[in-house]
A = this chain, B = another copy of it.
Amino acid sequence: MRERARSADDKTLRSQALLNAAESLALELGGVRHVTVAAVADRAGLHRTGARRYYDSKEDLLLELAERGWAQWRDAVAEKLAGASGLDAPATADVLSDTIVGLPVFCDLLAHVPMRLEGDVDIERARRFKSGSFASHDEIVGALAEASELDPPQLRALIAAAVAFAAGFWQVAHPTPTLAELYAQVPEWGHVALDFHPRLAHLLRATAVGLAQEAGEADGR
């Protein structure tokens, strides 16, 4: 693995190996904020300087991982739908929440992307991320539109809600050791914080039901 990549295929493989290494480190360390490019290179079996040929910076690497997360979410939604049709609002919400909770590093990244990552790279790098992630987003809208009673504007609003809930609640549900100790001491605070999937599913269903009711009202979307 320590040789210079010789072909386009090799480059793709190494690039993917680095993303996989970053993902597994994020899972082990409790979040992408603890991941470093050096540790990712070590995990992938590359020289640290070699890793820089694939990703300029931690931001560059994590943006790529976030873009891949959008594609994984798109694939998971398509697989979950599997030809379903006529889904009502709560069932549509469940497709989104059930699939996004299976992508914990993506949930984590969804909070980091607007707060730091996409704003801290150069404009062409940001453009590439936006293009890729919006393409997956639009494919999710398209797939759901064929399977759900909700229309595309409602689905776009529902996806925005799913992203906000997943991003916010994932962070709350993954405390540092200090905070985890506090939650053990004060269980009512821990209960509120750690309830990731049930809270996401509950609130997203409510949002979907409310969005479905405003059919015909086009304002605000």
Partner-B contacts on A (CB < 8 A)? 33, 89, 111-112, 114-116, 118-123, 126-127, 130, 134, 157, 160-161, 163-165, 167-169, 171-172, 175-176, 178-179, 181-182, 186, 189, 198-199, 201-203, 205-211, 213-214, 220-221
Q: A120-B176, A206-B209 are in contact. List 14 more A-B contacts (CB 8 A).
A: A33-B116, A114-B168, A114-B172, A119-B175, A127-B186, A130-B189, A157-B199, A157-B203, A161-B165, A161-B203, A167-B168, A203-B207, A206-B207, A209-B214
Report the minimum CB–CB distance from A12 to chain B (whole Å).
26
- Decide: A199 and B169 in contact? CB cutoff 8 A: no
State which of B123, B134, B181, B210 has its C-beta within 8 Å of the C-beta of A178. B123
A contacts with B: majority SS: helix
Contact yes or no, B202 A213, CB < 8 A: no
Partner of A205, one of B115, B163, B210: B210
Nearest opposing residue in chain B for A120, CB measure:
B176
Which of A112, A115, A165, A189 gathers most chain B CB within 10 Å?
A115
Query: Is the beta-carbon distance between B119 and A176 smaller than 8 angstroms?
Result: yes
Chain B CB within 10 Å, residue with most, of A111, A116, A178: A178
